Structure 1
Amino acid sequence: MRKRARKTTGLAALLTMAALALTTACAGSDGDDDKGGPGGGGDRGDKGASSATAAPSPLDRLIIASADLADYTVNQGKPDGWASGQPTSSDPECQPLADATGDKPSAAARETVRRGVNAKADPAKGVTTALSTYDAADAESYMRDLEAALAACGKGFETTLDGNTVGYGEVRALDVPTRADDTVAYTMTAVSQGQKIVMHFVAVRSDATIATFTALDLRHLTAGYPVPQEVVDKQIKKLGA
């Protein structure tokens, strides 16, 4: 029998967004954030290059590292099968929320670096953290666009990437206090192939740099895992906010 070519399913594509955190933490060590970790270096969302082949970015020095978080492991390896690209929303008003599940938080991001953060006590609880640089006006617009999307998309929307569709429902804003210039936080429940996945998001702005955090519990997909306040606070501190 002829085998079909292997293709990333909608559910698998969704999980790879946070699989960076779990995969590298299980395979690597606390020093992986300095060494590049298994599977390559930190992601450059706009260039498609790893730190093994690209010159270090100023963002590499600003994004959180294992030395900043005693109870967490921070890695920059990119696991095999990482789903790349930007999902397209069924509703244009919801595109900012769809972009948050892709390689880049928005098309206006000039550069993006990404890390995986896992709780040492339970590595299945993972946070994908990204720093992106913008023009000043674009950074502020990004935060306002997120707020507008949250207001418009409470009833849910669908995204499509490489022919795969993921539905998002139970979209609601959250209150996450920070010392950043601007903060938007929310939760969404993704549904793919009948599986529900509760996801938490936080975006914070410090001048023209935006940090985004996506968290879920890969062992208990419907339980949800709020982005740890300590992780957000440490990142904001490193940005000088």
Structure 2
Amino acid sequence: MDVKSNMSRAAMALSAAALACTAACGGGGGGGGAGEEKAGGKTSASAAPGLGKAKDKAPQAPLTAAQLDEAALASGDVPDYKVTKTSEADMPAGSVPAEPAACQPIADMFFFTSTPGAESRTGRTLAAESGLDATVTSLALLAHERSDAEKVIADLRTASDKCTAYKHTDYRYSGVEALPIPEYGDEAVSYRLKGTIEDTTLTMTFTIVRSDSTLAAFYAMKALGGDEVEVPAEVIKAQLAKLEKVRKKSGV
């Protein structure tokens, strides 16, 4: 299968994950909201609180694939959420050009890839067990050299300011909106966009956090629609805490 076909397959799988819980979700949404994030304008990502907090210590070596798997959330780590591992087929490593090029970092992060590329990655999908919450959250841990992780965050910040709409692997995305920077990790970036995939339009909210050399990337979609979708704060906090626990255990 060529890269483009693989990317298209992943796009459909990711949108299907959000739509799959529609039958089980009775009423409206109501996904847990990240208190640190509120809708903002394009200028909200121009500053970066926390940027450089790790500058005064030696960079940590990138985590291994085994360490990432140990650090990633599992069922039971966050109450009331079911966690499944993302297949490699749904996390293609290849990058397909986006139009316009200014949107490339955002297009890549939809598949949890980046330039510079991660040395290893692992992904998870979380769905609330409550039938009242139609939010599906995807996350990935990406192991980088710290300078590369910093560049990925900087490029996403720039792209969320400059990009408004783009085409990628035959799908169209619009309404790219930079959100206020959440105070997680050493630095973070957050933004929102709409994706039209197989005649279905979904709003997606992204939060990407740098913890030294590791990126913890999250995005949320609501199967029942609606613009007010947020990455649940409890998921972000639990993932960062587990990542830090593995890092301390490993001595990195």
TM-score normalised according to structure 1 size: 0.71
Distance (whole Å) between structure 2 residues aligned to residue 192 and residue 183 of structure 1: 27
* Match in the other structure for 2:41: none
What is the SS of the residue equivalent to 2:244? coil
User: How many matched pairs?
Assistant: 199
Whole-angstrom distance in 2 between the partners of 1:173 and 1:152: 9
Gaps of 5+ in 2: 24-63, 246-252
RMSD: 3.2
2:184 maps to 179
Which residue in the other structure is 1:129 paired with? 139
Conserved 8 A contact 2:86-2:123: no
1:149 paired to 2:170: no
SS in 1 for 2:219: strand
Moved over 6 A (4+): 8-12, 21-24
Q: Which residue, out of 123, 126, 129, partners 1:117?
A: 126
Letter of the 2:172 counterpart: G
In the alignment, structure 1 residue 93 sits paired with structure 2 residue 107: no
Deviation of the 1:148 alpha carbon = 0.7
Q: Give the secondary-structure state (helix, strand or coil) at the position aligned to 1:69.
A: coil
Does structure 1 conserve the Cα–Cα contact (< 8 Å) formed by 2:65 and 2:122?
A: no
- Which has the larger strand fraction? 1
Superposed CA offset, 1:215-235 (max 9, x none): 1012x1344531101101111
What secondary structure does 2:76 align onto? helix
From the superposition, tell whether residues 68 and 97 of structure 1 become closer, same or farther in structure 2 (CA, over 3 Å): same
TM-score by length of 2: 0.68
Distance across 2 between alignment mates of 1:131 and 1:119: 20
Q: Is the 8 A contact 2:192 2:203 kept in 1?
A: yes
State the match for 2:242 in structure 1. Answer: 238
**Corresponding residue for residue 139 of structure 1:** 149
The aligned residue for residue 47 of structure 1 is: none
d(CA) in 2 for partners of 1:83, 1:76 = 11
Q: Which is further off, 130-139 or 169-178?
A: 169-178
Deviations 1:34-81 (A, max 9, x none): xxxxxxxxxxxxxxxxxxxxx9611011111222211211111539x8
Which range is displaced more, 142-151 or 83-92? Answer: 83-92
Q: Which amino acid aligns with 1:120?
A: E
| 3-state SS of 2:183 partner | coil
Post-superposition Cα deviations, 1:130-174, rounded to whole Å, max 9, x if no partner, equal 0000011100000000011111103x11112xxxx1111111112
Quickly say closer, same or farther: Cα 1:87–1:199, change in 2 above 3 A: farther
Kept in 1, the 8 Å contact 2:112–2:217? The answer is no
Q: Counterpart of 2:61? A: none
Give, as a single letter, the amino acid of the residue that structure 2 aligns with 1:231. V
Matched residue type, 2:101: P
On the 8 A contact 1:166/1:192 being kept in 2, the answer is yes
Q: How does 1:1-241 map to 2 (within 5 A)?
A: 13-17=10-14, 19=16, 57-76=66-85, 78=87, 82=90, 84=92, 85-102=94-111, 104-122=113-131, 124-154=134-164, 156-160=165-169, 165-175=170-180, 177-218=182-223, 220-240=224-244
8 Å CA contact retained: 2:206, 2:219: yes
Contact 2:82-2:126 within 8 A present in 1 as well: yes
Q: Secondary structure at the match of 1:112?
A: strand
Q: Looking at both structures, which has the greater relative contact order when contacts are Cα pairs under 8 Å and sequence separation is at least 6?
A: 2
